[in-house]
Amino acid sequence: MNRVLKFTCVFAVIFAVETLLFAPFASAAPTITDPASAETPTSTSFMLFKGNHAEGLNGITHHTFRIPAIVKTNAGTLLAFTEGCAKSNKDYGNINVMYKRGSNNGQTAGGWSTLMQAASIGDDTISNPTPVVDCQMGTIWLFMSWNSANTSQSGGANPETGLPTTCITQWGQRRVYVMKSDDDGMTFKGMDGSSKPTDMTATLTPKTRAGGSAWAWDAVGPGAGLYTSDGVIIIPAQFRNIYSKDHSIMWQVQKLPESTGEATIAELNDGSLYRNDRANSTNWAAAKRRWISRGSISGGFSAYTSDDKLLDPENEASILFYNNAETDAPTQTIFLNSASTVTRMKVRFRVSYDNAKTWPMSRPLSDFTLSSGSGTEGGYSSMVKTADKNIGAMVETNLDISNNDVSVRGILWHKLNLGWVLHGCAC
């Protein structure tokens, strides 16, 4: 039924056997000389955030967990963030930013903490977790987007009260909030040390867009931010990068072309920066691909263009600069999204060796064997490099199978070595 998948499996077996017999192996994939090709593929996966009211905290059991974001602290602890939606799978209503701390490099379900809460503002929506670790200071920054319980992006009834919400049309109805942790993610606090997130909208959200209209809707990330090799903290956000060059004494905004929405950012091995974003609806209609801009904080960014290889169903994606500094391997950039223009369910890892210009190897997540109760996987994702040099990935799953209004969402965890991806296909 699925020729591509069968081919992939057969290919993977041949590849594995040949690797064993003739290692180091390079001949089947002539353009790649990645030592990770010779690794025995390893992978594990399990539900990380269950949804369907199986987990809860502070009097709420969550209907849905969506919008993953993961970072590794300086101590090697994994911090996996998600929106915890109290009563629905909608992106408005009572949403809090929840997280779990992972020890043991995320290897086993038992190595993860129970549910913890980073941010909650009454019954409002506090969403789009976008964490980043300042590797010099050890501080974990957590940027988020907020709107009040009576507003939403496009209207609809508040899931808790049933009352209508008003569409966001004015600056300030959607706001940027920040928290930080100085104790390896045990607690998150506002800038003033209180338990309340700090409102940074006045500094970090411009009032008008390029054409003069109000900067009304807004989004940070979602997904991991970036700490660059020269010590700049960067939060990718709608139409801009939010950054600090001095470990948070001053936060600034770099405006970008207003072509995309949900954003990712990575540093490439020449020190340049790479935005790989979800196109806005006009641009997506023109090219159903990921939209790319390259540049730097000091030199500005290029106009966005579509990457023809990176199919996209108008969805979030994640990017991970896997190797730069280590000299025992080539530079490696990993990309994860649904490689389709029509469905969010064809999630696939891709690897690039040339600063995200070409993507010669890939492997679909459908090659994982999921335990029962894992639902139908696909949607938003976030990746991290674990301290034991594996790829960790959070991916949304639809637990009710049918993609309807009330279906429960959760988040799956995958841990795999790069060899697992390289035993996929040259496609």
Judged by CB under 6 A, which of 44, 103, 107, 280 binds ligand NAG?
280
d(CA 351, CA 363): 9
CB 375 within 8 A of CB 398: yes
Does residue 283 belong to the site contacting ligand NAG (CB under 6 A)? yes
Tell me the number of residues near ligand NAG by CB under 6 A: 10
Q: Give min distance, CB of 189 to ligand NAG, in A.
A: 24
Contact at 8 Å (CB) between 261 and 275? no
Report the Cα–Cα distance between both ends of the chain, in Å, rounded.
Answer: 19
User: What is the spatial distance between Cα 127 and Cα 121, in angstroms, rounded to a whole number?
Assistant: 10
| Residue selected from 27, 114, 282, 369 as contacting ligand NAG according to rule CB under 6 A | 282
Check residue 151 for interaction with ligand NAG (CB under 6 A): yes
Which residues make beta-bridge pairs with 273? 267, 295
CA distances (Å), 4 to each of 12, 334, 418, in order? Answer: 12, 21, 21
* Residue 158 touching ligand NAG (CB under 6 A): no
CB of 284 to ligand NAG, least distance (A): 9
- Minimum CB distance to ligand NAG smaller for 278 or for 363: 278
Question: Which residue, 150 or 296, has its beta carbon nearer to ligand NAG?
Answer: 150
Q: Which is nearer to ligand NAG, 151 or 181 (CB)?
A: 151
Only segment of 262-270, 275-283, 352-360, 387-395 that touches ligand NAG (CB under 6 A) = 275-283
Among residues 90 and 348, whose Cβ is nearest to ligand NAG? Answer: 90
**Range 350-379, binding ligand NAG (CB under 6 A):** none
Nearer to ligand NAG, 281 or 403 (CB): 281
Specify the residue, 74 or 280, whose C-beta has the smaller distance to ligand NAG.
280
Q: 388 forms bridges with which residues in the sheet? A: none
CA angle centred on 153, ends 147 and 155, rounded to 5°: 105
Comparing CB distances to ligand NAG, the nearer of 58 and 166 is 166
d(CA 412, CA 410): 7
Stretch that binds ligand NAG, among 61-69, 274-282, 337-345, 397-405 (CB under 6 A): 274-282
Beta carbons of 63 and 87 less than 8 angstroms apart: yes
Between CA 332 and CA 202 the distance in angstroms is: 38
By beta carbon distance, the residue nearest ligand NAG is: 259
DSSP-derived letter for residue 117 is E
Q: Does 259 interact with ligand NAG (rule: CB under 6 A)?
A: yes
Contact call for residues 132 and 234 (beta carbons, < 8 A): yes
Interface with ligand NAG in residues 121-150 (CB under 6 A): 148, 150
Taking CB under 6 A as the criterion, the residue among 2, 281, 358, 403 binding ligand NAG is 281
Stretch that binds ligand NAG, among 38-46, 238-246, 276-284, 398-406 (CB under 6 A): 276-284
Which positions from 2 through 31 interact with ligand NAG, judged by CB under 6 A? none
**Choice between 289 and 409, CB closer to ligand NAG:** 289
Site string for ligand NAG, 218-257 (x = CB under 6 A): ----------------------------------------
**Contact between 302 and ligand NAG per CB under 6 A:** no
- Residue whose C-alpha is closest to residue 98's, from 72, 74, 70, 77: 70
Angle at CA 146, nearest 5°, toward 144 and 151? 155
DSSP-H helix ranges across 194-328: 201-204, 281-286
Query: Any residues with CB less than 8 A from the CB of 63 and at least 6 apart, and which?
Result: 51, 52, 53, 85, 86, 87, 88, 89, 408
List the structure tokens of 286. 């023109």
Q: Which residues bind ligand NAG (CB under 6 A)?
A: 148, 150-151, 166, 258-259, 280-283
